[in-house]
Amino acid sequence: MIDNITMNFVKETLKSLQDEKRFTHTEGVAEEAYNLGMIFIPSEAEKLRLAGYLHDVTKCFNVDRQLALCEEYGIGINLENLTPKLLHARTGCEFARQLFGKEIVDDEIYSAIMNHTTGKAGMSLFDTIIYLADYIEINRTFEDCVNLRNYFYDNIKNATTAEEKKEVLRKTLVLSFNYTLKDLVKEDRRIDSDTVEARNYFLTTKNCF
Ligand code: DGI
Ligand code: FE
Ligand code: FE
């Protein structure tokens, strides 16, 4: 159970670690994660909100600080293949755990922070909800994000059984990875193998949840 004191402590700490725009996004992800949780795993909805608050905990740290954390935590970084944007997911899980303890940042939340940017083949339903909430939260106005939000909510309202809802989720995930991969190619940026493997996994694994 997550009590109000814990939740308020997490919120206030995050507010102090992020600039205003990032904290607005963080609150958007927390609410979206709760809403998606109510559709797919109501018993975990509160915990998903907490994970939403934590997902970008190190996002406002500069690259030097990210790299220093990688060294401190023993996270191996290949400098030649360095993609600075991806570092905050790798550092965030451990930073959050050291800050709030293993009781709050348990393995499920740790994994959701770790996988929220690239996704991962075989990722859990909990991980997936944080990944998708990050993409479609209400403050995102980028065209791909709006399209993905509309795709998900247009289709989920016609899904009645749990199986149908999970199929909508799977297809939404494939679309999200397609958007991300197209964008990365267009911008001539490096693609992490986890992003590609996550896309292939959801494309070909029908009963993934
Ligand atoms: O931290 P946020 O901005 O809220 O969102 P995020 O952690 O999902 O990061 C989104 C960015 O990460 C977006 O610009 C796409 C990018 N991204 C996702 N997978 C890859 C990637 N960037 C690169 N270079 N390579 C990837 O494989
Ligand atoms: Fe992020
Ligand atoms: Fe985010």
Confidence band, pLDDT 50/70/90 cuts, at residue 150: very high
Task: For residue range 56-87, list pLDDT tens digits in order.
Answer: 999 999 999 999 999 999 998 887 778 989 99
What pTM value is reported for the model?
0.97
Answer whether 49 contacts ligand 1 (Cβ < 6 A): no
- Given a cut of 80, whether residue 171 has pLDDT beyond it is yes
Ligand 1 nearest atom to the CA of residue 22, by list position:
4
CATH number of 4-204: 1.10.3210.10
Confidence band, pLDDT 50/70/90 cuts, at residue 1: confident
Q: What pLDDT, on a 0 to 100 scale, did the predictor assign at position 77?
A: 83
- Phi and psi at residue 57, to the nearest 5°: -55, -35
From the CA of 146, how far away is ligand 3's center (Å)? 15
User: Cα–Cα distance between 134 and 130 in angstroms, integer?
Assistant: 6
Where exactly are the structural domains of the chain? 4-204
Q: Give the count of alpha carbons within 13 A of 7, CB side only.
A: 12
Closest CA to ligand 1's atom 4 = 134
- Given a cut of 90, whether residue 2 has pLDDT beyond it is no
- Given a cut of 80, whether residue 53 has pLDDT beyond it is yes
Q: What pLDDT, on a 0 to 100 scale, did the predictor assign at position 66?
A: 93
